[in-house]
Amino acid sequence: MSHILPITTSQESSQPVPLIDLVAQYGTIRDEVQEAVHRVFERQSFVLGEEVSNFEDEVAEYCDSTHAIGCASGSDALLLALMALEIGPGDEVITTPYSFFATASSIARTGATPVFVDIDPSTYNIDTNRIEAAITRRTRAIMPVHLFGQCVDMDPIWRVATQHGLAIVEDAAQAIGASYRSRKAGVLGSVGCFSFFPTKNLGGAGDGGLVTTDDKDLASRLRRLRVHGDIGGYTHVDVGINSRLDALQAAVLSVKLKHLDSWSEARRENDRNYGELFQEFALNERVQSPTEVPERHHIYNQFTIRVPGVRDEVLKRLRERQVGCSIYYPKPLHLQECFSSLNYKYGDFPEAERAAAETIALPIFPELGAERQRIVVRELHHVLAEIDAEMYPSVRRAA
């Protein structure tokens, strides 16, 4: 118990620290955004059109993808990708149980079956060593999720997918700008899916999403599927959906895309700074920091630490002390009520279950600043020391 923290005496008053502050970011780009919004209103062309195709071109260039197809959300991007691959009833898609709900629901909505594989506890991404054992003759695709902004180890996935003739649908909703061996998230599989939900690293003024692919046929099917399968003149060749990107979103996102790399760099700087602060406050033994694997460029959509045994108490006390924090995700997907027909039970994916019980996300947004980061770490230290003192009173007396 050498790492039990001594209780701190200093009770410096401190400012509240939010988990994310979109108002601060808007302050840095207000004029550019307002000009873009104004331009859309003057044109009165609100759905798809030039703003959207320009933005699609910009994302395609940014990711080095041949095609980019805007749509209404990240959830729809996943659904459209699976529809374009003609995945449906009777098919199985392998994915992680430790992700946002839409990862698995997109599979279920096509009529296919999500098949879960446990995660690697150090990266929280799908454990690629376990994928092959989950493949059956019904398996059609693998859906890796680049969770928290760090790419999945794609090499083993490429190998297995090639060997078994499977498609790869990347859930890159949290990973725009992340890379794996210098190739960007979104171009590491057959189809890449992005979300522009406001809290993602590239966030719009509402919902938005996009699909990338290098396959010409898939791209034209995706363009068709997002407009009810219409090839023009109310001639429908597929039963598609209505999932288009708004011009207003595209205009705002075009402005923000130019700043994305500098924002990602600020997030990475915050990660380095957390490392130093954890050292300074002797927290390295007490909390497990995120692991950044070599040859991956992590863009820290979330900064997630582990605090085994005391997570809920840490969450409650940090919030009481006005430090923004959250849990991504408290309940793994295989234990969600709506998937009870899949017949999974507690204990099936111990690493996902353990992560769901032990992790907590701290503020990492680009505008956070060193001063507020110090407050976060100081408060975390205080809260942990307090909890330790309550749990091991004798140790404290002895110290």
Residues that bind ligand PLP (CB under 6 A): 73-75, 99-100, 102-103, 145, 171, 173-174, 195, 197, 207, 209
Least CB distance from residue 207 to ligand PLP, whole Å? 6
Which residue, 240 or 388, has its beta carbon nearer to ligand PLP?
240
The answer to whether the CB of 302 falls within 8 A of the CB of 364 is yes
Least CB distance from residue 89 to ligand PLP, whole Å? 22
The full DSSP string for 59-77 is HHHHHT-SEEEEES-HHHH
Which residue, 100 or 278, has its beta carbon nearer to ligand PLP?
100
Which residue, 203 or 363, has its beta carbon nearer to ligand PLP?
203
Radius of gyration, alpha carbons of the chain: 22
Which residue, 226 or 381, has its beta carbon nearer to ligand PLP?
226
Least CB distance from residue 263 to ligand PLP, whole Å? 17
Which residue, 76 or 271, has its beta carbon nearer to ligand PLP?
76
Which residue, 60 or 72, has its beta carbon nearer to ligand PLP?
72
Q: Which helix (H) or strand (E) holds 183?
A: strand 183-184
Half-sphere exposure of 373 (CA within 13 A, CB side): 21
Which residue, 135 or 152, has its beta carbon nearer to ligand PLP?
152
Torsion of CA 166, 300, 358, 2, to 10 degrees: 130
Q: How far is it, in rounded angstroms, from Cα 214 to Cα 183?
A: 13
Question: Nearest 5 degrees, angle CA 357-CA 363-CA 368?
Answer: 175
Least CB distance from residue 99 to ligand PLP, whole Å? 5
Q: Helix (H, G, I), strand (E, B), or coil: what is residue 116?
A: strand
Q: How far is it, in rounded angstroms, from Cα 239 to Cα 68?
A: 21
Residue, CB closest to ligand PLP? 74
Q: How far is it, in rounded angstroms, from Cα 214 to Cα 147?
A: 23
The answer to whether the CB of 35 falls within 8 A of the CB of 235 is no
The full DSSP string for 249-286 is HHHHHHHHHTTHHHHHHHHHHHHHHHHHHHHHTT-TTT
Least CB distance from residue 73 to ligand PLP, whole Å? 4
Least CB distance from residue 173 to ligand PLP, whole Å? 3
In the block, which residue shows the tokens 């957390």?
274
Least CB distance from residue 170 to ligand PLP, whole Å? 10
Least CB distance from residue 124 to ligand PLP, whole Å? 11
Which residue, 92 or 171, has its beta carbon nearer to ligand PLP?
171
